[in-house]
Structure 1
Amino acid sequence: MLLKRLVHAAVAALALAAVMPASAQQVLKVGSTATGVPFTFLDTKTNSIQGVMVDLITEIGKDAGFQTQIEPMQFSALIASLTSNKIDIISAAMFITPARKEVIDFSDPFYTYGEGLLVPKTDTRDYAKFEDLKGEVVGAQVGTAFVDALKKTGTFGEVKVYETIPDILRDVGAGRLKAGFADYPIVAYNLKQGGFAGARLVESYKPTMVGSVGIGVRKGDQDLLKKINTSLARLKANGTVDKILDKWGLKAQGA
Structure 2
Amino acid sequence: MKLRSLAIAGALALCAAQSQAEDLTVGVTTTGVPFTFVDTATQQPTGAMVDLAAAIAEDLQMTPDFAVSQFSALIPALQTGKIDVISAGMFATDKRKEVVDFSTPVYSYGDVAFVKADDAGSYQLEDFAGEVVGAQIGTTFADQLQAKGIFSEVKLYDSLVDIMRDVQLGRIKAGFGDKPIIAYQIAQNPNLGVKLVEGYTPMGTGEVALAVSKENPELLEKVNASIAEMEKSGELAEIFGKYGL
Q: 1:224 aligns with which of 211, 214, 219?
A: 219
**Which deviations, in whole Å up to 9, do the C-alpha atoms of 1:2-33 show, x marking residues without a partner?**
xxxxxxxxxx9999767755453210111101
Q: Alpha-carbon deviation of 1:34?
A: 0.9
2:144 matches 1:149: yes
Counterpart for residue 6 of structure 1? none
CA deviations 1:75-113 (Å, max 9, x no partner) are 111111111111111111111111111111110111101
Offset at residue 62 of structure 1 (A) = 1.1
- Partner Cα separation in structure 1 for residue 12 and residue 223 of structure 2: 27
Is 2:95 aligned against 1:102?
no
The separation in 2 between residues aligned to 1:240 and 1:170, in whole angstroms, is 36
Q: Aligned-pair RMSD on alpha carbons? A: 2.1
- Whether the 8 Å CA contact 1:170–1:196 is kept in 2: the answer is no
Of 48, 51, 54, which aligns to 1:52?
Answer: 48
Determine whether 1:159 maps to 2:158: no
1:194 aligns with 2:189: yes
CA contact (8 A) 1:138 1:178 kept: yes
| Alignment-mate amino acid for residue 107 of structure 1 | S
Within-5 A mapping of 1:9-158: 21-127=17-123, 129-158=124-153
Matches of 1:209 and 1:163, distance apart in 2: 22
Corresponding residue for residue 229 of structure 2: 234
Deviation at 1:197, TM superposition (A): 3.4
- In the alignment, the residues of structure 2 paired with residue 215 and residue 166 of structure 1 have an alpha-carbon distance, to the nearest angstrom, of 24
Moved over 3 A (4+): 12-23
Query: How far 1:148 sits from its partner (Å)?
Result: 1.3
Report the 3-state secondary structure (helix = DSSP H, G, I; strand = E; otherwise coil) of the residue aligned with 2:56.
helix
**Any idea what SS the aligned residue of 2:226 has?**
helix
Q: Which residue type is aligned with residue 33 of structure 2?
A: V
How many residues are matched? 241
Q: Give per-residue Cα distances to partners, 1:120-142, cap 9 Å, x unaligned.
A: 11211221x32111111100001
Cα distance, 1:203 vs structure 2: 2.2
Q: Does 1:185 align with 2:180?
A: yes
TM-score by length of 1: 0.88
SS of 1:114's partner is: strand
Which ranges in structure 2 are unaligned for 5 or more consecutive residues?
1-7
Amino acid at match of 1:96: A
* Paired residues of 1:130 and 1:155 also in contact (CA < 8 A): no
2:3 matched residue in structure 1: none
Letter in 2 for 1:208: M
Identical amino acids, percent of aligned pairs: 48
The 2-side partners of 1:249 and 1:196 are apart by 21
SS at match of 1:220: coil
Tell me how far apart the structure 2 counterparts of residues 241 and 124 of structure 1 sit (CA, whole Å).
38
Contact 1:112 1:211 (8 Å CA) reproduced: yes
CA offset at residue 209 of structure 1?
2.9
Report the residue type matching 1:37 in the other structure.
Answer: V
